[in-house]
Structure 1
Amino acid sequence: MEKRRKMQKKKYWKDLDTDVLLIIYQKLSTKDLILGAPLCCSSWYTVSKEPSLWREVDLLNGFNEFIKSNKLTEFVVARSQGCITSIKFPLTASDDDLLLVAQRCPGVKYFNLRLRSDKLLKKKSIYLAFTKLKELEGMDVGDHFVSNGMVLQLINQFCPKFSKLKVYDISWDTVYHIATFMPKINVFDLI
């Protein structure tokens, strides 16, 4: 009889309350939300699909080596159900990844996209992305992303809330473009 009571009182990880799991999952990295916790059991997998866990997505750390960025971007956009507000793209990302997020997550306020300098920006993808990013407040990019001024003009035209810009490996020509096209910027970081 006592053995039966002990068995009835025994708790399993899979039986954790959903609210408790959500609190735990909010502390996990994006990598752990994709490659760790949801693989434990079906109840943990179900909780990992909660859109609120996918508002701030960091794909920059831990994903650059082994996953194609477009598949990874498609995955997190689907999980977020359009709720992404901030995304750090992996180094393997392209402007097509930005377009996908812009089309399906219109509330994006911030993104980090450090395209490799050997990747060419596709005018159509960039133009379409910025026409959708009406809530964009800031971005963190490499010099070549803003060096020709086209992106800055698109931001001025379509992103009225934009106020924060961080640029890596910046050249003096790009500084000139930023001063010319973005005189109202509030935060400007040069790295």
Structure 2
Amino acid sequence: MELMEEDDPGRRKWKDLDNDILMRIFQTFDIFELTSGIAQVCNSWRYAVCDPLFWSTLDLSMLKSNFIKIPLEPYVYVDGRSDKTLTKVLKISLSLSHGNISTLIFHYNLFVSDDQLTYTAERCPRLKRLVLPAWNRIKKTGICKAISMWQDLESLTMPSIASPRYIMEEISKNCKNFSKLKLMGPCDILFANALANCLPDLKVLSLRCSMIYKEALITILDRLKHLEVLNISHCIIIEVPPPPASRIVLDELDNSILEKASRIKDFLTCMNNDCVMCKRTRIDEGLLRWYKYEEGIWKEDEVKCLAI
């Protein structure tokens, strides 16, 4: 389409394009194009780009931090330019969305800061799904403050953490419709107990491609009475016998576990030596180094509502 000249009354101007046409054009844009300044061209363009159609989901899974690993907390150092890029995208997106974002997706190597997270939470009051598989730079106060503002939250994808109880308590206290959880990392008895104590009504849980302690799995099966879907595909199941015996990696689920799982509507498993993902989980010892594998494979899940 040719650019219309201002002094040619016989031609329509870009600002006079029908809103439906603008919408179709903008639907082909990615987040970087939508936040590149097109809303500043004219009022009609800003009106179109602010349509809720574009902002039910804010997918930042293509945006990664430029970082290096360090030996002390938070164990990553993020380049200042990465932070500036993320802050800019967030500010423009959250301004254009007018609070209509219900799904927010971060890349597993996008290390959000406390300020960025709380800024986002304040401007996404209707959030229902959060995919935040890394929060090295987010402190307890930051994540708890954000969760307290997301009272409509129903689904969370998160990393494993050393002290999971506080986040589960915060969800229990503030998110009455919460029902779906995906853990990207090892599941031990502390995590299982936190789930059972704080989120007893959880309906969907995915632990795929992780290391799970047998005791933790039994706790989940015994105490999460409302669980309808449990995904342990490609997991390493670890049994820890009394000392001095060393831990045992189970080759298959025993009858006691299968019997407990029989009440669950969808119990998803895969412990196949020929399965590529099972092999990767074993090689990476239950904490997958996603950067080594195909781009975007970390988004997959056998549970449809938790896949990206």
Paired residue for 2:27?
26
Output aligned runs, 1:155-170, within 5 Å.
155-170=171-186
Q: Tell me by how many angstroms 1:94 deviates.
A: 2.7
Q: TM-score normalized by structure 1?
A: 0.77
Show structure 1 runs of 5+ residues with no match: 1-6
Q: Secondary structure of the residue that 2:35 maps to in structure 1? A: helix
Paired residue for 1:107?
126
Q: Is structure 2 residue 79 aligned with structure 1 residue 62?
A: no
Could you tell me whether the CA contact under 8 Å between 2:158 and 2:184 is conserved in 1?
A: yes
Output aligned runs, 1:101-180, within 5 Å.
101-117=120-136, 119=137, 121-144=138-161, 147-173=163-189, 174-180=191-197
Structure-2 change in CA distance of 1:155 and 1:181 (3 Å): same
Paired residue for 2:106?
89
Identity value in percent? 26
Letter in 2 for 1:127: C
| Match among 85, 88, 96 for residue 71 of structure 1 | 88
Paired residue for 1:3?
none
Could you tell me whether the CA contact under 8 Å between 1:112 and 1:141 is conserved in 2?
A: yes
Could you tell me whether the CA contact under 8 Å between 1:85 and 1:109 is conserved in 2?
A: yes
Q: TM-score normalized by structure 2?
A: 0.50
Paired residue for 2:204?
187
Matched positions, count: 181
Whole-angstrom distance in 1 between the partners of 2:149 and 2:158: 18
Q: Tell me by how many angstroms 1:163 deviates.
A: 0.6
Paired residue for 1:4?
none
Q: Which has more radius of gyration?
A: 2
- RMSD between superposed Cα atoms in Å: 3.0
Q: Tell me by how many angstroms 1:44 deviates.
A: 7.9
Whole-angstrom distance in 1 between the partners of 2:44 and 2:183: 39
Structure-2 change in CA distance of 1:46 and 1:179 (3 Å): same
Bigger Cα displacement from structure 2, 21-30 vs 53-62: 21-30
Could you tell me whether the CA contact under 8 Å between 2:57 and 2:103 is conserved in 1?
A: yes
User: What does the per-residue CA deviation read over 1:61-81, in whole Å, with 9 as the maximum and x for residues that have no partner?
Assistant: 135456423333222111112
User: What does the per-residue CA deviation read over 1:127-184, in whole Å, with 9 as the maximum and x for residues that have no partner?
Assistant: 222221111111111112x842111100000100111111101331423322332121
Using CA pairs under 8 Å that are at least 6 residues apart, name the structure with larger relative contact order, 1 or 2. 1
Show structure 2 runs of 5+ residues with no match: 1-7, 67-80, 209-308
Could you tell me whether the CA contact under 8 Å between 1:51 and 1:81 is conserved in 2?
A: no
Whole-angstrom distance in 2 between the partners of 1:89 and 1:154: 21
